[in-house]
Protein backbone atom coordinates (compact mmCIF):
# COMPACT_ATOMS: atom_id res chain seq x y z
CA UNK A 1 0.00 0.00 0.00
CA UNK A 2 2.82 2.33 0.92
CA UNK A 3 4.49 1.65 -2.43
CA UNK A 4 1.34 2.72 -4.30
CA UNK A 5 1.23 6.00 -2.37
CA UNK A 6 4.87 6.70 -3.21
CA UNK A 7 4.27 5.99 -6.89
CA UNK A 8 1.24 8.30 -6.93
CA UNK A 9 3.22 11.05 -5.20
CA UNK A 10 6.07 10.67 -7.69
CA UNK A 11 3.55 10.89 -10.54
CA UNK A 12 2.15 14.14 -9.17
CA UNK A 13 5.64 15.58 -8.69
CA UNK A 14 6.70 14.65 -12.21
CA UNK A 15 3.49 16.13 -13.60
CA UNK A 16 4.02 19.37 -11.69
CA UNK A 17 7.67 19.54 -12.71
CA UNK A 18 6.86 19.08 -16.39
CA UNK A 19 4.30 21.89 -16.29
CA UNK A 20 6.42 24.05 -14.01
CA UNK A 21 5.42 24.62 -10.42
CA UNK A 22 3.69 27.90 -11.21
CA UNK A 23 2.84 27.34 -14.84
CA UNK A 24 -0.21 29.19 -15.98
CA UNK A 25 -2.07 28.11 -19.01
CA UNK A 26 -4.28 30.73 -20.61
CA UNK A 27 -7.90 29.98 -20.01
CA UNK A 28 -10.33 30.83 -22.76
CA UNK A 29 -13.56 31.72 -21.04
CA UNK A 30 -15.23 32.26 -24.40
CA UNK A 31 -17.42 35.17 -25.29
CA UNK A 32 -19.71 36.88 -22.83
CA UNK A 33 -23.22 35.56 -22.43
CA UNK A 34 -25.82 37.45 -24.40
CA UNK A 35 -29.03 38.84 -23.05
CA UNK A 36 -32.23 37.68 -24.74
CA UNK A 37 -34.72 39.66 -26.76
CA UNK A 38 -38.23 39.80 -25.32
CA UNK A 39 -41.03 40.12 -27.84
CA UNK A 40 -44.00 41.81 -26.14
CA UNK A 41 -47.60 40.71 -26.38
CA UNK A 42 -50.87 42.18 -25.27
CA UNK A 43 -54.39 43.14 -26.22
CA UNK A 44 -53.17 46.16 -28.18
CA UNK A 45 -51.54 45.16 -31.50
CA UNK A 46 -47.76 44.94 -31.22
CA UNK A 47 -45.95 47.26 -33.65
CA UNK A 48 -44.28 45.56 -36.62
CA UNK A 49 -40.99 47.13 -35.52
CA UNK A 50 -40.72 44.42 -32.83
CA UNK A 51 -40.88 41.67 -35.46
CA UNK A 52 -38.29 43.40 -37.64
CA UNK A 53 -36.01 44.03 -34.67
CA UNK A 54 -36.34 40.41 -33.55
CA UNK A 55 -35.22 39.18 -36.98
CA UNK A 56 -32.18 41.48 -36.87
CA UNK A 57 -31.48 40.44 -33.26
CA UNK A 58 -31.56 36.71 -34.09
CA UNK A 59 -29.28 37.26 -37.08
CA UNK A 60 -26.85 39.08 -34.79
CA UNK A 61 -27.02 36.23 -32.25
CA UNK A 62 -26.21 33.77 -35.01
CA UNK A 63 -23.21 35.90 -36.03
CA UNK A 64 -22.08 36.07 -32.40
CA UNK A 65 -22.32 32.31 -31.93
CA UNK A 66 -20.29 31.87 -35.13
CA UNK A 67 -17.67 34.25 -33.69
CA UNK A 68 -18.41 36.90 -36.33
CA UNK A 69 -18.34 39.49 -33.58
CA UNK A 70 -18.08 42.65 -35.70
CA UNK A 71 -21.13 41.64 -37.74
CA UNK A 72 -22.97 40.75 -34.52
CA UNK A 73 -22.20 44.13 -32.99
CA UNK A 74 -23.54 45.94 -36.05
CA UNK A 75 -26.61 43.68 -36.04
CA UNK A 76 -27.45 44.40 -32.40
CA UNK A 77 -27.14 48.15 -32.99
CA UNK A 78 -29.36 47.82 -36.08
CA UNK A 79 -31.94 45.88 -34.06
CA UNK A 80 -32.05 48.67 -31.47
CA UNK A 81 -32.38 51.28 -34.20
CA UNK A 82 -35.50 49.52 -35.55
CA UNK A 83 -37.21 49.98 -32.17
CA UNK A 84 -36.48 53.69 -31.72
CA UNK A 85 -39.75 54.85 -33.26
CA UNK A 86 -42.01 52.75 -31.03
CA UNK A 87 -44.31 54.90 -28.89
CA UNK A 88 -47.51 54.41 -26.97
CA UNK A 89 -48.38 51.22 -25.12
CA UNK A 90 -45.15 49.45 -26.08
CA UNK A 91 -42.68 52.31 -25.59
CA UNK A 92 -41.30 50.87 -22.33
CA UNK A 93 -40.90 47.42 -23.88
CA UNK A 94 -39.02 49.00 -26.79
CA UNK A 95 -36.67 50.79 -24.39
CA UNK A 96 -36.02 47.54 -22.52
CA UNK A 97 -35.27 45.66 -25.75
CA UNK A 98 -33.01 48.46 -27.00
CA UNK A 99 -31.08 48.25 -23.74
CA UNK A 100 -30.60 44.51 -24.32
CA UNK A 101 -29.45 45.19 -27.89
CA UNK A 102 -26.93 47.81 -26.80
CA UNK A 103 -25.55 45.58 -24.04
CA UNK A 104 -25.12 42.71 -26.50
CA UNK A 105 -23.52 45.07 -29.02
CA UNK A 106 -21.04 46.14 -26.36
CA UNK A 107 -20.15 42.48 -25.67
CA UNK A 108 -19.77 41.79 -29.38
CA UNK A 109 -17.54 44.84 -29.95
CA UNK A 110 -15.40 43.74 -26.99
CA UNK A 111 -15.16 40.20 -28.37
CA UNK A 112 -14.11 41.68 -31.72
CA UNK A 113 -11.50 43.72 -29.83
CA UNK A 114 -12.92 46.87 -31.40
CA UNK A 115 -13.15 49.28 -28.49
CA UNK A 116 -12.89 52.38 -30.74
CA UNK A 117 -15.74 51.06 -32.89
CA UNK A 118 -17.81 50.34 -29.80
CA UNK A 119 -17.27 53.82 -28.42
CA UNK A 120 -18.17 55.38 -31.75
CA UNK A 121 -21.33 53.32 -32.27
CA UNK A 122 -22.59 53.53 -28.69
CA UNK A 123 -21.84 57.25 -28.38
CA UNK A 124 -23.73 57.89 -31.61
CA UNK A 125 -26.62 55.78 -30.33
CA UNK A 126 -26.63 57.82 -27.10
CA UNK A 127 -27.15 60.99 -29.16
CA UNK A 128 -29.94 59.41 -31.20
CA UNK A 129 -31.70 57.49 -28.41
CA UNK A 130 -32.42 59.79 -25.44
CA UNK A 131 -34.33 57.11 -23.52
CA UNK A 132 -31.18 54.93 -23.42
CA UNK A 133 -28.53 57.65 -23.09
CA UNK A 134 -27.64 56.85 -19.48
CA UNK A 135 -27.32 53.12 -20.21
CA UNK A 136 -25.21 53.81 -23.30
CA UNK A 137 -22.85 56.11 -21.40
CA UNK A 138 -22.44 53.40 -18.76
CA UNK A 139 -21.60 50.83 -21.44
CA UNK A 140 -19.03 53.17 -23.00
CA UNK A 141 -17.45 53.80 -19.58
CA UNK A 142 -17.18 50.04 -18.99
CA UNK A 143 -15.13 49.71 -22.18
CA UNK A 144 -12.40 51.97 -20.82
Q: Is the pLDDT of residue 1 over 60?
A: no
pLDDT tens, position by position, 52-64: 999 999 999 999 9
- The rounded mean pLDDT for the chain is 83
Q: Is the pLDDT of residue 31 over 90?
A: no
Question: Could you tell me the residue ranges of all domains in the chain?
Answer: 34-143
The pLDDT of residue 36: 82
pLDDT confidence of 25, banded at 50, 70, 90?
very low
- Within the chain, where are the H helices? 2-19, 48-65, 69-82, 91-111, 115-128, 133-143
What are the two backbone dihedrals, phi and then psi, of residue 24, each rounded to the nearest 5 degrees? -125, 120
pLDDT tens, position by position, 96-133: 999 999 999 999 999 999 999 999 999 999 999 999 99
- Confidence (pTM): 0.77
Q: Residues with Cβ < 8 Å from 125, sequence gap 6 or more?
A: 77, 80, 81, 102, 132, 136
CA-nearest of 97, 141, 88 to 119 is 141
Q: Residues with Cβ < 8 Å from 122, sequence gap 6 or more?
A: 102, 105, 106, 109, 136, 139, 140, 143
Amino acid sequence: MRGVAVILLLGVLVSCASNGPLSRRPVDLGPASLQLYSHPSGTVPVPVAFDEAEVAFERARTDYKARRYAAAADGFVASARLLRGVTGDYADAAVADRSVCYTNASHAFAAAKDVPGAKRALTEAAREDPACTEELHRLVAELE
